[in-house]
Amino acid sequence: TSVTSAKVAVNGVQLHYQQTGEGDHAILLLPGMLGSGETDFGPQLKNLNKKLFTVVAWDPRGYGHSRPPDRDFPADFFERDAKDAVDLMKALKFQKVSLLGWSDGGITALIAAAKYPSYIHKMVIWGANAYVTDKDSMIYEGIRDVSKWSERTRKPLEALYGCDYFARTCEKWVDGIRQFQHLPDGNICRHLLPQVQCPTLVVHGEKDPLVPQFHADFIHEHVKGSWLHLMPEGKHNLHLRFANEFNKLAEDFLQ
């Protein structure tokens, strides 16, 4: 039941990950903006079924303990994360994996599933979006200044990063995600959705203040054969706030 953590060299970077469980079915947990395994997936690392699953939570480059390097946001940062994630799991000798992707991690998961279809078994994503609208852009601007965040959300990230790196990287993230707004249709990965072949569950919290429901509907509509599950009381962090319900939902889908 213990959680181990280690680093492994992938694509020129030392990527940090946590691992638990001894099941045959490998799952990779993909965190959101500024996220890491420890800050984003506590209840999943603790409580997902360790007999059925081997659970890995990774810190994308520049996030969590996968530093250095400092995080940056080139135009292809999601594609880079998708390749890093897949190459990490291959470096850890997993033959095939399922993905649980939250927020930015959901976008990364969609891209990974589209680009490496033979490697991805199943996928659960929540709080993700395939494109950026003007409305989204306004929402992102609203979180640019971390001093306006609630203390509960802010404190763990300040402890992980230090106040300066946290504040600076959040601003860089807002600029990074807003660059998609200027592309045709605000495209991040909408062109890749028809290429997703694995069974996919899209979960959406109906009270999510950061990602409007039209994003979940769009992904559900364009990933063929996908399922959409709505959680009426869920916000953006539905997997933390309603951890037991979410974990059961994910386990049932992945089996």
Predicted pLDDT at 1: 72
Neighbours of 117 (CB within 10 A): 12
Contacts of 216 (CB under 8 A, 6+ apart): 128, 202, 203, 204, 228, 230
pTM for the model stands at: 0.98
The answer regarding whether domain 3-131+187-254 maps to CATH 3.40.50.1820 reads yes
pLDDT beneath 50: ranges in the chain: none
Predicted pLDDT at 210: 98
137 catalytically annotated? no
In the set 25, 204, 236, 239, the catalytic residue is: 236
Could you identify the residue written with the tokens 């470096």?
91
Task: Tell me how far apart the alpha carbons of residues 28 and 51 are, in angstroms, rounded to a whole number.
Answer: 16
Q: 16 has which bridge partners?
A: 7
Alpha-helical runs (H) found in the chain: 37-40, 42-47, 77-91, 104-115, 134-142, 151-161, 163-178, 213-222, 238-241, 243-254
Answer yes or no: are the C-beta atoms of 46 and 246 closer than 8 Å: no
Phi, psi angle pair for 63, to nearest 5°: -115, 155
Domain ranges of the chain: 3-131+187-254
Predicted pLDDT at 113: 99
In the set 208, 215, 226, 239, the catalytic residue is: 208
252 catalytically annotated? no
Q: Are strands 13-20 and 4-10 parallel, antiparallel or unpaired?
A: antiparallel
Q: Are strands 120-126 and 200-205 parallel, antiparallel or unpaired?
A: parallel
Predicted pLDDT at 254: 98
Task: Tell me how far apart the alpha carbons of residues 145 and 91 are, in angstroms, rounded to a whole number.
Answer: 37
First to last CA, the chain: 20
In the set 103, 104, 215, 239, the catalytic residue is: 103
Task: Tell me how far apart the alpha carbons of residues 9 and 87 are, in angstroms, rounded to a whole number.
Answer: 10
Task: Tell me how far apart the alpha carbons of residues 37 and 19 are, in angstroms, rounded to a whole number.
Answer: 10
236 catalytically annotated? yes
